[in-house]
Structure formats: structure tokens, C-alpha cells
Structure 1
């Protein structure tokens, strides 16, 4: 139980209109200060001041990434419980709340449009760009090994890009589905799969930031070098979770935290890597458990990026099995 003074501090932090609006927005996923200023139509210093009060009171959490910072709802503690209590009682039909939701959707759509434009530009050289940044051979071998030699009925590759993961894992599925929002990337993927003689996989145009659950269920979902293009990887992970069948596995490949700002400014990255703690929180929120984590440092450069492979599993199925 919290002391009286601490509880009063939390209530004071939450008891202001703009701060309640911020809590409601962050309940739908992480946002940068820049995003929140655009949505609320308030100045950056004002929004930052509100966020600091909320963070100091334990209502939200702050993750610094290079020159940017991202905020999300606190996951535990009295502040987290109060935030959830308040949000559950908000009326999404309220005029101001409705405007916030509409602006939030517009900000996300703009971000995804920028990413798609980038992918369209680099589609033909995408695989070369990846080899300059990460130890692909070791990562690909680890992804294959993570499936333990089994062959599943359905595997979904979200943000399939050039279809490389569908090619690498061709022996691990009877039906492979690749989803991507870039037509140019999909053209490259179709050519790659056809050239490799892989007839068990197909690629489709789809918004991986707003997934259609009809694509699932899948026993395995692969998210390879995708989450760092999203302001809120946890929200993307939660959406992907809806496509995962009971007892399914999710393989996520992405960068460990780094400080290479040029990847944000020149290569459309939104997050400068993902930490182990962040992934654990996002997985838990999506009813997934972290089975293992492997790291692959880049040996080619002093400032080379480290790549991580997370193996997540359906937490609800694991708990059911343990109960038995």
C-alpha cells in the first residue's frame, strides 16, 4: 500500500485535463513527445512538462533513445493501476477525446506512409543494405534452429520485405504467407520466391500496422527487422499476437539499443533498437512469454549494430499446460 503523501501525489498528477488525455493516448501505445504535440496541438515544452509530472508520479514510463524519448503507460505500481482505472472510465464518444483519436490515427498513418516511401526507394538494394549492418548468415541460421527442425502448417512473415525469411524457412512450413505494405518490395519478393522455386509461399499487400486477423491463425510468426520502424513496437506486437494460434511461437529479429541517429534521419528508423526489458514488457502485455534471447554483435565495425533474436511463445497455452 502506498503512503498517503505518495497517493496524493499520484492523484494530483492525474487530476488535470491534458494529463488525462495523455494517459488515454499512451494507453493505445508508446508515443514520442513530437507525436503528442501534434495530436494535442500544444507546445513541446507544455507537453514535456505534463509528461514529466506523470512520469515522476509513476503513471507513465520514459525510454530515452538517442535525441528522442518515448513514453508509455507504467506497467506496474499504484500509478499504473490508477491510470488503468481512469482510462476505463473515459468516453471515446467525447468530442475532445474523439479528436485526439482521429489525430493519433493521422500521425500514425503519416509515419507509415514515410516508411513505405523509403522502402519503395530502396527495394532493389534492400538485401545489400542489410548485409552492411548485420551478421545475416548467423542470424538466419539461428532463426532456422529456433524452430527445432519442425515443419508447421502455417507461417506468417510480417513485413516480409524481399521475402528472404520465407526463402530461408521454406523447409519449415507447408504454407507461408508474407505481408508487406510496399508494392515494390513485394515485387522483389515474388521474383525471389519464383526464382528459388518455392511454391508453398505467397506474399500479399497488407498494412502490418493494422493487421487483418483473417490472415491467421499461424503456428509461427516471424517479425524480422520490422519493429524498429514503428513508434510503438508493443502495439505492433499486440496486433501480431492476434494472428498466432494456440501454443504458437513468434520469432523476432531486431537491433539491440544503439545511438546511431543517422538510421532515424536517413533510413526511416523510428526506434534506436529494442531493449530486453522493453521486449519482456511488450511480450507480457500480449500474453507471450520470452523463451530465449540470442545476441549477434557485428564484428565488421567498431560501431557496428548488435542484432537480437527473441523467441516468444503463447503464454496462455504455457500456463494451461503448467496447470495440468
Structure 2
């Protein structure tokens, strides 16, 4: 009864009902909520605190920003669905319409911010892309390797602009898109806002994933491992959160000597060999199933697909001599 009373008390306010309605549409930062509601941030923060204490919404920090969303598995899910069916008075309908207009403006500003970021970094990214095979070929190869595999809950480590989450969304049950950069997460949030699959954008470090062990079905690390000074630890941490039988797909460069990549794009490692990846996979309890090379340009792109061994999977593994490993 106490929990139920807290919920109804929290919802018994027009502004807080507007907050809930807006967060059902999309995640918002407190500052964005203040703009849509046309209220001061301290006042909005007070309403947010009441809703959070009642378990209706939850906060998630990304750098200096705090994003808000409806609490998953919370006690008010069915109630909020039914609330959409309740009729509005003319005055209430006008407020809802005004909120919708301001929310559309927030979407537009997010898109504009993403465009500004891309414009500022276009020359740098074009210089890197010109050194290797077209991204369309890389993406096609990735989709081919993961075809007919159960993606389930997919973790995209180093999501950047959210492109990997975007291309795998049609076949995943859920996606967690993780990045250290709040700026990149804001861009990804704009790109992924229209996806039907649930997508959680999380700020975090690939050396210390904010996820429980054996909680993820599949993982993608696309062009992010070369930023790691200790790539073996990154793979070990990925193996920790991967369920038995789950897959880890790493896409990065083959070993190269282009030292400019260290200064141009802050690469800590200049590519990886099959032997390195195979060894790191083995240490993390993974089997390297496939290694594929995409030639084109100065830098060769590599795709390594590993599988997490399950308790039942104890069969020996043999190598066919071409970088592919199979259960014997």
C-alpha cells in the first residue's frame, strides 16, 4: 500500500504527468525537459526527484548531463499505458500539443548538434576512411558473419555514432550501446531515436563494463580496440559479460606501420594479428571461430568472430590452418 500511495502522490501533479508523458516519447536531459516544460531547471529537478523516489523514472549520468527515462519494470507500466486512453479537456489538449511542438524542437536541435560535430571532424574521419576498404563492404561482411546467429541482447562497445547498433537493430532483441564520450552518445541518441528495438545508451569504459557477468548474448567492438593500451583486458571484460555460447565480433585493422594514426586519430595500437586475438580470446574463455581479411587501401580491415565457451562445451578445438577454428 505504501508503494502504491507514493506512486499516486507522485503522479498527482499536472507538471509531473507532463514529464511522464514526455519521457514515454524519448529520453531527455533535465535541461531539455526544462525547455519543453518552459520551467526553471530547479523546479523541474524537484519534480524529477519526486518521480524518481516513487520509482516511476530513473536517472542516468553522462558526463555533466543527466538523462531521464521511465523506469524499466517499474510498478506503473500498465497504469501509464492506460493513461493514454484517458480523454483530455480542451485546455489539457492545448498543453499537450504545445509540449509536442517543443519536443520536436529538441529533436531538431539534437540533429543540428550532431551535424555540427560531423562537420568539425569530417576531414579527420575522411582521412582515416581513405586508408581502408569502404565501410559499406565492412558492414556487409559483419552482417554476413552474424547472419542466422542469435543476437539477443547485443552490446555495442564503443558505439560512437551508433552505426553498429543501427545495422544490427533489425535482428537484435535489445541493444546496449556503450561509449566513454557523452558527445558521441548524444549523437547516437539522435541517430537511434526511431528504432523499434529497445536501445539503452550507456556511458562507460570498455575496461570496466557496467554490466553483470554473463548478461549479454552478443557483443560487437567495431574500430574501438585500437584505442586500448591493454586490449587483452578489454577482451577479458567482454568475455566476462558474455553468456555461454554467445558471440564476440571484433572489427579492427591488421598490423600496420602507419604511425600517423597515433597522432591523427589517437590510436594506441597499430593493428592486431590473428595470433594475438586468438590468444586473448583463449585467455577470456572464447574460441576464435572465424578470421576474415578485407583488403583495400593502405590498411587491411580484419574481422574476428569468437564464441564464449559454455559449461557444456568442452570439446577440443582444431585449426584448419586458415585462421578458422572448429569444434573437433
Shorter-chain TM-score bucket reads 0.5 to 0.7
Gaps of 5+ in 2: 1-116, 317-326
Query: Aligned-pair distance for 1:240?
Result: 1.0
Residue 126 to residue 150, structure 1, CA distance change in 2 (3 Å): farther
SS in 1 for 2:173: strand
- Map residues 17-96 of structure 1 onto 2, 5 A cutoff: none
Which residue in the other structure is 1:259 paired with?
A: 257
Aligned equivalents of 1:213, 1:151: Cα separation in 2? 20
Do the aligned partners of 1:213 and 1:242 also contact (CA within 8 Å) in 2? no
Aligned equivalents of 1:124, 1:214: Cα separation in 2? 36
Structure 2 length-normalised TM: 0.56
Q: How many residue pairs are counted as aligned between the two chains?
A: 201
Which residue in the other structure is 2:307 paired with?
A: 313
Which residue in the other structure is 1:193 paired with?
A: 192
Gaps of 5+ in 1: 1-118
Select 1:224's aligned residue among 222, 225, 228.
222
Spell out, residue by residue over 1:101-143, the C-alpha distance to the aligned partner (whole angstroms, 9 max, x if none).
Answer: xxxxxxxxxxxxxxxxxx9997677865653333211111111
In the TM superposition, structure 1's runs of 4+ consecutive aligned residues that sit over 6 Å from their partners are: 119-127
Which residue in the other structure is 2:294 paired with?
A: 296
Do the aligned partners of 1:123 and 1:188 also contact (CA within 8 Å) in 2? no
More helix by share: 1
Spell out, residue by residue over 1:10-29, the C-alpha distance to the aligned partner (whole angstroms, 9 max, x if none).
Answer: xxxxxxxxxxxxxxxxxxxx
Aligned equivalents of 1:191, 1:170: Cα separation in 2? 15
SS in 1 for 2:130: helix
Residue 219 to residue 126, structure 1, CA distance change in 2 (3 Å): farther
SS in 2 for 1:282: helix
RMSD: 2.8
SS in 1 for 2:243: strand
* Larger radius of gyration between Structure 1 and Structure 2: 2
